[in-house]
Amino acid sequence: MFLAVGAGLLAVASSAAPDDAISREYTQLVTRYARGERALAIGGLALISDAELARIAQAVEAAALTAKRSRSPPPLPLRAAVMLHLDLDEAERPAAAGTEQPRRCPGPQAAIAARYASVLALDEETRSFARRFFVALAHSCQWDACLETAQRWAHEGLKLFPRDAQLLLSAGSALEESATVWAGGSTVENPAMPPRFREMARAAAQERVARYRRARSLFQDAIASDEGLTLARVRLGRVLWRLGERAAAQAELEKAIARSPGPPFLSLAHLFLGRVHEDAGRLEPAVEHYRLSLALEPDAQAAAVALSHGLRRSGEMEEARAVLRRALAQAGRRAGRDAYRDYLVGDALGFRDELAALRQESLE
């Protein structure tokens, strides 16, 4: 697949515009960005129309591929060009104005950045930069709730880096989140519904299951590529539970616990494994795992509520109330982030640091 992508990119070099289509102004802006003059470079690039930037990008891509074939230096600092276009895309997207007006997803400038990153993927020296660019872009999109776009960029990265564990995890995470929060699957089928609405609810439920199944496959592939990727195993266990595959979910979560280096993944694995046991009617091991989860994160609300609920079902009413009282007393006072609340976007939390590292590497 990598060779096929490379051949496709090289074909662009033979048909695109010549080097002189790359304006001096554009080259200077990229060079300024590479020198660390980010704001000036972004401001200058914003004055050029999208149509002109698309034309220049085609010429840059072609010139860079031609230079690679002839073992010559690229026409401009390509890593800086990647981050310059991505930063312009970021600057042109207004911040979200409340939950009713979600932030606009990445647009044409991010696509240009990805085109340049695809060229960098062909060179061993810049291959790691390109791979991490696609991971960071997918994470950034997921953080902004652009879930389909996050999946798209993760899969674009997988075309260049097949079986990459982080990209597989990113694609699966965005897909799992889309299945979990998907509005189309929020209505539950029931006999009181008119036939047409029952059919709609049934179709929605089937779509949600299909998304979970695709996520399951991506997490399994991620683990096959990197058995030490604990979050992928935790996510796999959670998705298997969503699909009703309790025995498989238990097995994966137990493996995650055995391999996890510690919180937050370990606390989540205990919490989810406790739910698997509780659903199967095994209250004693459920309570044990809820206790372990809460011990790892003493101010975690979800673990406290789960433990209180498990104790109440086990007949331990006094302890159940005591656990819940402590949780209520700590409400609103948590110093750090809550792993359970962050779960769906957990692997995207560090996207700003990922982008900052790429910007630093783009300096020359």
Question: Does 162 have pLDDT greater than 50?
Answer: yes
Query: Judging by beta carbons within 10 Å of its beta carbon (0-12, 13-18, 19+), is residue 309 exposed, middle or buried?
Result: middle
Q: Is residue 62 in a domain?
A: yes
* C-alpha span between 130 and 160 (Å, rounded): 9
Q: What is the mean pLDDT of the chain?
A: 90
CATH number of the CATH domain containing 281: 1.25.40.10
Unique residue bearing structure tokens 């616990």? 257
Between vectors from CA 182 to CA 177 and to CA 186, what angle results, nearest 5°? 130
Domain count, the chain: 2
The domain boundary residue, chosen from 108, 123, 138: 123
What is the reported pLDDT for 189? Answer: 59
The gap from C-alpha 157 to its chain's centroid, in whole angstroms, comes to 12
AA identity, residue 33 = Y
The secondary structure element, H or E, covering residue 288 is: helix 283-296
Asked if the peptide bond before residue 264 counts as cis, ω within 30 degrees of 0, the response is yes
Cβ atoms 41, 76 nearer than 8 A: no
AA identity, residue 7 = A
Which candidate, 261, 246, 242, 263, places its Cα nearest to that of 176? 242
pLDDT digits (tens, 9 = 90+) for 295-350: 999 989 999 999 999 999 999 999 999 999 999 988 777 777 888 999 999 889 99
Q: Is residue 353 in a domain?
A: no
Q: Who's near 221: CB < 8 A, 6+ residues apart? A: 163, 168
Question: Does 15 have pLDDT greater than 60?
Answer: no
pTM value is: 0.89
The gap from C-alpha 8 to its chain's centroid, in whole angstroms, comes to 27
- Dig out the tokens for 17 from the structure: 């515009």
Q: Is residue 99 in a domain?
A: yes
Q: Is residue 151 in a domain?
A: no
Comparing 188 with 7, the larger pLDDT belongs to 188
Comparing 7 with 129, the larger pLDDT belongs to 129
Distances (CA, A) of 290 to 178, 233, 329, 333, 339: 27, 19, 19, 21, 14
* C-alpha span between 74 and 125 (Å, rounded): 13
What is the reported pLDDT for 3? Answer: 36
The domain boundary residue, chosen from 78, 98, 123: 123
| Local confidence band at 260 (pLDDT 50, 70, 90 cut-offs) | confident
Q: Is residue 155 in a domain?
A: no
* C-alpha span between 258 and 273 (Å, rounded): 12
Q: Percent of the chain at pLDDT above 90?
A: 77
Residue 296 structural domain: 260-347
Distances (CA, A) of 261 to 230, 249, 256, 292: 9, 20, 9, 14
Average pLDDT estimate for 4-27: 59
Q: Is residue 172 in a domain?
A: no
Q: Is residue 282 in a domain?
A: yes
The domain boundary residue, chosen from 66, 100, 123: 123
Distances (CA, A) of 267 to 22, 260, 277, 328: 53, 9, 15, 20
Query: Judging by beta carbons within 10 Å of its beta carbon (0-12, 13-18, 19+), is residue 228 exposed, middle or buried?
Result: exposed
* C-alpha span between 48 and 71 (Å, rounded): 31
Average pLDDT estimate for 246-254: 98
Cβ atoms 93, 104 nearer than 8 A: yes
Q: Is residue 208 in a domain?
A: no
- Dig out the tokens for 64 from the structure: 């860079």
pLDDT digits (tens, 9 = 90+) for 184-193: 555 555 666 6
Half-sphere exposure of 308 toward its Cβ, with a 13 Å CA cutoff?
Answer: 16
What is the reported pLDDT for 12? Answer: 41
Half-sphere exposure of 247 toward its Cβ, with a 13 Å CA cutoff?
Answer: 0
Which candidate, 87, 158, 150, 148, places its Cα nearest to that of 121? 158
What is the reported pLDDT for 19? Answer: 55
Cβ atoms 327, 308 nearer than 8 A: yes
pLDDT digits (tens, 9 = 90+) for 97-116: 655 456 689 999 999 999 99
